[in-house]
Amino acid sequence: MASWLTGLLIGGIALTAYGVGSVYGTMTMWPKEVRGDLRSGLREGYRGDGTMSEQYLSRAWETTKKLPLEKFGSQPFLKTTGIGIALAGVYENNGKLEQAYQILEQSLNLLQEGTNAASNLRRDLSPEERMRAVSIAYKLGELAQTLNKPKEEEENWLVFSVETVLNVMKAPVVAEVVLTDQDMKSQEVARGIVEELKLPSWVLKHDLAAPFEALGSFYSSTGKVSYAMPLYLQAISILIPPPPQVSSAEDQCRAAQLMGNISELILRTRNDPEAIVQAESWATKGLEVASRGRKSTLVKHPSCEVAYACMLYNLAMIRDMAGDSHSARQLFVSVTVCERVCNAKVRLLLVCAPIRVQAEKFLKAKVTVRGEVGDEG
């Protein structure tokens, strides 16, 4: 799965100035039957005792599955699945990925009726609860890859996530869910649940492009180019919606990376002159979008720096394929800016370094071929 997926959908919500006492002290939104175990499980997790946290949250989860839904009040499925996600997070932190996977499956089942299909989500779910199904299925797809589950299993979860977005929202796909006043109150409840249980941010973030990106990447990696292309196109249309809507710098740079992916897919299927022109058009557009994203904010976004370097590299390779070695060389020289990014952002090294190394190999090879002819400038 592409590296940005983890960056977008994983990450803890930190406990701040309240202190542990206020967060774990009352928890009045939860049924009294699970309140004590939840409080103890979260407290032990905060203290770093994953084993005890696991025990308390496991008991809370088993109790949750037996309680009548009415016990959970408003947004009941956000609360029940929230407990499951909290337990799955502890299992994941403890290195028990298979157990985390199983708990997330059980959590998704709470949102479903009948078979495991997007069309079988419960009809009484709120928009936030439906998006919870998208998030859980997406996470299951990621874990399926990590656990080396059969490819069909990973695909099924990602397809479920995409189909849920398309079928459940029943509205033109946009970058964020548009909420009414009543929905805004529901979202506050959802945020409160996330904060009380210290759930990862992927649980709340309404990132509708991510499932399309992930499934597109899956099909690209399995050689199903004709499946990947429309998914990438859909993701781009979400990340860069038509005016008057605006995109964040990070979303623009994600879209730029996808444009580079489309360019690569075109050349993977054929490399005739027409294909090279099409691929170059997408790569050029990707470089333009990445450049715009970088310039739109004073804050340097790692995703934008990587997207910019990747687009330079893609375009350089295409120019070389087209026989324009001079333009290719100039672009490859520009790619070496990635070295500066890698030094500043160590976690980008695995992405940037191979690009820079390939660019330097190209430049060295061209110098060797020229011999005494000299530098072309």
Contact call for residues 332 and 362 (beta carbons, < 8 A): yes
% pLDDT > 70, the chain: 69
- Between these two residues, 371 and 173, which has the higher pLDDT value? 371
Show Cβ contacts of residue 19 under 8 Å, excluding neighbours closer than 6 positions. none
Residue type at 13?
I
Beta bridge partner(s), residue 351: none
DSSP state of 114: S
pLDDT band of 131, cuts 50, 70, 90: confident
Which stretches of 296-347 are DSSP H helices?
302-321, 325-335, 338-344
Show Cβ contacts of residue 143 under 8 Å, excluding neighbours closer than 6 positions. 97, 100, 101, 104
SS3 238: helix
Mean pLDDT of the chain, nearest integer? 77
pLDDT digits (tens, 9 = 90+) for 173-187: 333 333 344 444 555
- Between these two residues, 38 and 320, which has the higher pLDDT value? 38
Tell me the average pLDDT across 159-169: 81
Contact call for residues 87 and 57 (beta carbons, < 8 A): yes
pLDDT digits (tens, 9 = 90+) for 329-339: 777 777 665 55
Contact call for residues 246 and 276 (beta carbons, < 8 A): no
pLDDT digits (tens, 9 = 90+) for 265-306: 999 988 889 999 999 999 999 999 999 998 888 877 788 888
Place of tokens 């409080």: 39
Contact call for residues 331 and 286 (beta carbons, < 8 A): no
Tell me the backbone φ, ψ of residue 242, rounded to 5 degrees: -70, 155
CATH of domain 3-203: 1.25.40.10
pLDDT in the model for residue 77: 93
CA of 46: how far to CAs of 21, 22, 23, 56, in Å?
11, 13, 11, 13
pTM of whole model > 0.85?
A: no
pLDDT in the model for residue 83: 93
Tell me the average pLDDT across 223-249: 90
Which of these ranges, 110-119, 241-250, 311-320, 355-364, has the smallest mean pLDDT?
A: 355-364
pLDDT band of 257, cuts 50, 70, 90: very high
The residues spanned by each domain of the chain are 3-203, 247-373
Please choose, from the candidates 43, 10, 303, 263, the residue with its C-alpha nearest in 3D space to the C-alpha of residue 135.
10
pLDDT digits (tens, 9 = 90+) for 18-66: 223 334 445 788 899 999 999 999 999 889 999 999 999 999 999 999 9
CA of 239: how far to CAs of 92, 204, 219, 248, in Å?
30, 18, 20, 9
pLDDT in the model for residue 62: 97
pLDDT in the model for residue 373: 35
Q: Please give the Cα distance from 257 to 311 (Å, whole number).
A: 7
Please choose, from the candidates 47, 79, 43, the residue with its C-alpha nearest in 3D space to the C-alpha of residue 61.
79
- Between these two residues, 71 and 17, which has the higher pLDDT value? 71
SS3 112: strand
